[in-house]
Protein backbone atom coordinates (compact mmCIF):
# COMPACT_ATOMS: atom_id res chain seq x y z
CA UNK A 1 0.00 0.00 0.00
CA UNK A 2 1.37 3.43 -0.97
CA UNK A 3 -1.31 5.61 0.60
CA UNK A 4 -4.28 5.09 2.86
CA UNK A 5 -6.04 8.44 3.16
CA UNK A 6 -9.39 9.66 4.41
CA UNK A 7 -11.20 12.97 4.19
CA UNK A 8 -12.73 14.48 7.29
CA UNK A 9 -16.47 13.83 7.70
CA UNK A 10 -18.53 16.11 5.46
CA UNK A 11 -15.67 16.86 3.02
CA UNK A 12 -15.23 15.56 -0.50
CA UNK A 13 -12.71 15.73 -3.32
CA UNK A 14 -13.36 15.61 -7.06
CA UNK A 15 -10.29 13.40 -7.37
CA UNK A 16 -12.05 10.67 -5.39
CA UNK A 17 -15.02 10.42 -7.75
CA UNK A 18 -14.98 7.79 -10.48
CA UNK A 19 -17.09 9.65 -13.04
CA UNK A 20 -16.58 12.71 -15.26
CA UNK A 21 -16.25 15.92 -13.24
CA UNK A 22 -17.04 19.45 -14.39
CA UNK A 23 -15.35 22.37 -12.64
CA UNK A 24 -17.60 25.38 -12.02
CA UNK A 25 -15.61 27.94 -10.01
CA UNK A 26 -17.57 30.33 -7.81
CA UNK A 27 -15.04 33.13 -8.36
CA UNK A 28 -14.71 34.94 -11.73
CA UNK A 29 -11.70 34.52 -14.06
CA UNK A 30 -8.49 36.42 -13.31
CA UNK A 31 -6.81 38.75 -15.81
CA UNK A 32 -3.60 40.77 -15.79
CA UNK A 33 -2.71 43.13 -18.65
CA UNK A 34 0.81 44.37 -19.40
CA UNK A 35 2.22 46.59 -22.13
CA UNK A 36 4.28 44.81 -24.76
CA UNK A 37 6.26 45.90 -27.80
CA UNK A 38 3.26 45.19 -30.04
CA UNK A 39 0.49 46.61 -27.81
CA UNK A 40 -1.07 44.95 -24.78
CA UNK A 41 -0.67 41.38 -23.55
CA UNK A 42 -3.35 39.86 -21.32
CA UNK A 43 -2.80 36.80 -19.15
CA UNK A 44 -5.97 34.99 -18.12
CA UNK A 45 -6.75 32.01 -15.93
CA UNK A 46 -9.75 30.58 -14.13
CA UNK A 47 -8.65 28.14 -11.49
CA UNK A 48 -10.86 25.04 -11.37
CA UNK A 49 -12.72 25.66 -14.63
CA UNK A 50 -13.10 22.76 -17.08
CA UNK A 51 -15.67 24.23 -19.50
CA UNK A 52 -13.88 27.20 -21.12
CA UNK A 53 -12.85 26.61 -24.73
CA UNK A 54 -12.33 30.24 -25.80
CA UNK A 55 -11.26 33.49 -24.14
CA UNK A 56 -12.34 36.87 -25.49
CA UNK A 57 -10.45 40.03 -24.57
CA UNK A 58 -12.59 43.11 -24.05
CA UNK A 59 -11.20 46.66 -24.12
CA UNK A 60 -12.57 50.18 -23.95
CA UNK A 61 -12.07 53.77 -22.89
CA UNK A 62 -14.25 53.19 -19.81
CA UNK A 63 -15.55 50.13 -17.95
CA UNK A 64 -18.99 50.66 -19.55
CA UNK A 65 -17.69 50.76 -23.15
CA UNK A 66 -15.82 47.44 -23.34
CA UNK A 67 -15.91 45.65 -26.69
CA UNK A 68 -14.34 42.47 -28.07
CA UNK A 69 -10.81 43.10 -29.41
CA UNK A 70 -9.32 39.57 -29.51
CA UNK A 71 -10.29 35.92 -29.14
CA UNK A 72 -8.18 32.80 -28.71
CA UNK A 73 -8.67 29.16 -27.84
CA UNK A 74 -7.90 28.21 -24.26
CA UNK A 75 -4.39 26.75 -24.16
CA UNK A 76 -4.17 25.47 -20.59
CA UNK A 77 -4.18 26.85 -17.08
CA UNK A 78 -3.06 30.29 -18.28
CA UNK A 79 -3.78 31.67 -21.74
CA UNK A 80 -2.21 34.76 -23.30
CA UNK A 81 -4.05 37.19 -25.58
CA UNK A 82 -2.49 40.12 -27.44
CA UNK A 83 -4.02 43.23 -28.91
CA UNK A 84 -3.09 46.64 -30.26
CA UNK A 85 -6.10 48.14 -28.45
CA UNK A 86 -5.01 50.76 -25.93
CA UNK A 87 -7.95 50.42 -23.53
CA UNK A 88 -7.08 51.55 -20.88
CA UNK A 89 -9.80 49.28 -19.43
CA UNK A 90 -9.72 45.52 -20.04
CA UNK A 91 -11.63 42.38 -19.06
CA UNK A 92 -11.96 38.84 -20.41
CA UNK A 93 -14.95 36.64 -20.99
CA UNK A 94 -14.92 32.83 -20.90
CA UNK A 95 -16.93 30.90 -23.52
CA UNK A 96 -17.81 27.22 -23.77
CA UNK A 97 -17.65 24.97 -26.85
CA UNK A 98 -21.03 26.30 -28.03
CA UNK A 99 -19.91 29.92 -27.77
CA UNK A 100 -22.01 30.59 -24.66
CA UNK A 101 -20.56 33.09 -22.22
CA UNK A 102 -19.70 31.43 -18.90
CA UNK A 103 -18.27 34.36 -16.93
CA UNK A 104 -16.57 37.75 -17.20
CA UNK A 105 -13.55 38.87 -15.19
CA UNK A 106 -13.48 42.07 -13.21
CA UNK A 107 -12.39 45.07 -15.28
CA UNK A 108 -8.78 46.16 -14.86
CA UNK A 109 -7.14 49.44 -15.83
CA UNK A 110 -3.71 49.57 -17.46
For 32-65, the pLDDT digits (tens) are 999 988 899 999 999 999 999 999 999 999 999 9
Nearest to 83 by CA among 44, 51, 29: 44
pLDDT score, position 17: 56
Domain borders along the chain are 29-109
> ω before 98 within 30° of 0 (cis)?
no
Distance of CA 78 to the CA centre of its chain: 8
Which residue did the predictor score with more confidence, 56 or 13? 56
pTM: 0.82
Give the CATH superfamily of 29-109. Answer: Immunoglobulins (2.60.40.10)
Distance of CA 61 to the CA centre of its chain: 22
In three-state secondary structure terms, 80 is: strand
- Listed in sequence order, the residues at least 6 apart from 60 whose beta carbon sits closer than 8 Å to its beta carbon are 66, 67, 87, 89
Amino acid sequence: MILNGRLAPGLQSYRAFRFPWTGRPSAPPDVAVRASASGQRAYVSWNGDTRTRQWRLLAGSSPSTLGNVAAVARTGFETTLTTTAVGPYFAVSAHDAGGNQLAVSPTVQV
